[in-house]
Amino acid sequence: MGMEADMDVLVVGAGPTGLLLANELQLAGASALVLERLPQRTGQSKALNLQPRTAEILQLRGWLERVMSRAVTTVPGGHFAGLPLDYGVFDTPFPYQVGIPQARVEESLEDRLAEEGVPVLRGHELVDFEQDSDGVTATVAGPAGQRRLRARYLVGADGGRSTVRHLLKAAFPGRDGRVSMVVADIVLDGASELSDEWRLPSLEPGDNGLFFLLSLGDGVYRVLFGGPRQQELDRSAPVTEDEVRAALRPHHGGRLRLREVRWASRFTDASRQAERYRDGRVLLAGDAAHIHLPAGGQGLNLGMQDAFNLGWKLAAQIQGRASEGLLDTYHAERHPVGAMVLENTRAQGVLLVTDPDVLALRATMAELLTLPEANRRIAGMISGLGIRYEMPGSPTHPLLGARLPGIELPTGRGLLLESAAHPSLTAALAPWADRVDRAPTPFPDAQAVLVRPDGYVCWVGRSDDAHLSTALHRWFGAPSGTETQ
């Protein structure tokens, strides 16, 4: 097509997914522009938590502190449909969830973009695009009318109703919502009887459907409910104060008085996932790629981890140093994780139905979750700590494909952890020295461990292992120079 690109990557959507992706691209040296339809931040938060793996990836980059400074609290463990999960069994600096409204996570990520000079174009909506062999031309509608922007890649991080996904006509199999619920942030009078602590929501199915109330501090409460009344109402009907009052009454009688509804919205248990996360030069991430019941506190975390998986790969592709197939590992690795979250949220949805037999199922599940192995499996899913990617071409080792906790990769480069500076490792690594750092290994049983920029182990071996060059080639691209090859 021959038209010069205005930027490497056009990121559509300034939610947590798009903002983390733009940060990752900047760190890896690719130029990005974020488009956001909303003229300014709303300050509203759907999600209220960071799961342990999300805290770990922010720590990996040295960005956790700026996020934590805006956090409200930490919440011990996690939950599966309200049944407690113990995160203490994992080797992680964060065996807890960080209680933080989504808006504050977004704000801290957007502040960093501003500091680094990465533009976030607010009040600008992507309305169309076309892709060709060397880029994507997007049509963007803003206050001054329409304009065209050219990028080498485009990422749809534009949420559950993704315009990018629609324009791609991407297959989005799954099912529509069956249950309609309301989420609202409210100010209450007479709430002294309520705990001011952030705690696990006591998600119990009851006669009036699902209900929980959680203090967000400063007299503001998060209420979530979905009873028979909500199923009768149109899903586009505005949430009224009367509707919120009626939902509070059976649980708190007349003791709580609703003073104000700060914001409210309806949501459902619709469950769908894009069949392909990549179509040529266009990729999908976050809610644009998957929607599900927000059970267990996973959606924002899933989206941020999509972005973290994609950023370094996309930058390598743009800089011409990605091996064949690297960018496709984004779909190969993240689609199964999304599918797992869809499955567990559908299962949680069943456990939240008002039915005596479901209570029996809950009791059985609660019993099972007291078994360490069962807790570890389910807690590994919800926390993100149990994710293991398939790593081809290397021998099997318990660390391979798993995350490495407690390390830092602030430069976004890879890391070779070695027990001592072996000449053979030094020689093998030399052509990738500009992309991979070195440090002593904390693992006595493994002589050397290669870690990708997203903190996952992609090779474990000994100093004489010939597979190291294969792994370096696969994950870090063609070797530069020929001096030791």
Ligand X SMILES: Cc1cc2nc3c(=O)[nH]c(=O)nc-3n(C[C@H](O)[C@H](O)[C@H](O)COP(=O)(O)OP(=O)(O)OC[C@H]3O[C@@H](n4cnc5c(N)ncnc54)[C@H](O)[C@@H]3O)c2cc1C
User: What is the contact surface with ligand X in residues (CB under 6 A)?
Assistant: 12-18, 35-38, 46-49, 102, 125-126, 157-159, 163, 183, 267, 286-287, 294, 297-301, 303
The distance of closest approach from Cβ of residue 351 to ligand X in the complex, given in angstroms and rounded to an integer, is: 17
Rounded to 5°, the CA angle 320-28-16 comes to 120
**Is the Cβ of residue 61 or residue 290 nearer to ligand X in the bound state?**
290
**Is the Cβ of residue 277 or residue 476 nearer to ligand X in the bound state?**
277
Do the Cβ atoms of 53 and 305 come closer than 8 Å? Answer: yes
The distance of closest approach from Cβ of residue 470 to ligand X in the complex, given in angstroms and rounded to an integer, is: 34
For 227: left if phi > 0, alpha if psi spans -120 to 50, otherwise beta; the answer is beta
The distance of closest approach from Cβ of residue 44 to ligand X in the complex, given in angstroms and rounded to an integer, is: 10
The distance of closest approach from Cβ of residue 299 to ligand X in the complex, given in angstroms and rounded to an integer, is: 3
Buried residues in 231-259 as b, exposed as e (16+ CB within 10 A): eeeeeeeebeeebbeebbeeebeeebebe
The distance of closest approach from Cβ of residue 97 to ligand X in the complex, given in angstroms and rounded to an integer, is: 9
The distance of closest approach from Cβ of residue 258 to ligand X in the complex, given in angstroms and rounded to an integer, is: 19
The distance of closest approach from Cβ of residue 117 to ligand X in the complex, given in angstroms and rounded to an integer, is: 20
**Is the Cβ of residue 289 or residue 436 nearer to ligand X in the bound state?**
289
**Is the Cβ of residue 30 or residue 164 nearer to ligand X in the bound state?**
164
**Is the Cβ of residue 77 or residue 297 nearer to ligand X in the bound state?**
297
Burial of 357 (0-12, 13-18, 19+ CB in 10 A): exposed
The distance of closest approach from Cβ of residue 385 to ligand X in the complex, given in angstroms and rounded to an integer, is: 15
The distance of closest approach from Cβ of residue 300 to ligand X in the complex, given in angstroms and rounded to an integer, is: 3
**Is the Cβ of residue 18 or residue 455 nearer to ligand X in the bound state?**
18
Measured distance CA(307)–CA(451) in Å, rounded: 18
Give the 3-state secondary structure of residue 367.
helix
**Is the Cβ of residue 306 or residue 418 nearer to ligand X in the bound state?**
306
Do the Cβ atoms of 221 and 191 come closer than 8 Å? Answer: yes
Q: How many CA atoms lie within 13 A of 481 on its CB side?
A: 11
Alpha carbon distances (Å) from 88 to 93, 96, 198, 368: 10, 8, 19, 17
**Is the Cβ of residue 125 or residue 437 nearer to ligand X in the bound state?**
125
Residue 36's closest CA among 145, 150, 158, 127?
158
Q: How many CA atoms lie within 13 A of 193 on its CB side?
A: 11
**Is the Cβ of residue 290 or residue 413 nearer to ligand X in the bound state?**
290
The distance of closest approach from Cβ of residue 288 to ligand X in the complex, given in angstroms and rounded to an integer, is: 6
Element (H, E) at 130: strand 125-132
Q: How many helices (H) and strands (E) does the chain have?
A: 13, 24
Q: What residue ranges in 157-311 does DSSP mark as E strands?
A: 174-175, 180-189, 210-217, 220-226, 257-268, 271-273, 278-279, 282-284, 290-291
The distance of closest approach from Cβ of residue 473 to ligand X in the complex, given in angstroms and rounded to an integer, is: 32
Residue 241 has phi, psi (to 5 degrees) of -60, -40
DSSP classification of residue 432: G
Alpha carbon distances (Å) from 331 to 65, 143, 389: 30, 35, 12
**Is the Cβ of residue 238 or residue 481 nearer to ligand X in the bound state?**
238
Residue 264's closest CA among 232, 299, 291, 237?
237
Residue type at position 156: G
Alpha carbon distances (Å) from 59 to 64, 83, 295, 408: 5, 28, 25, 7
**Is the Cβ of residue 141 or residue 366 nearer to ligand X in the bound state?**
141
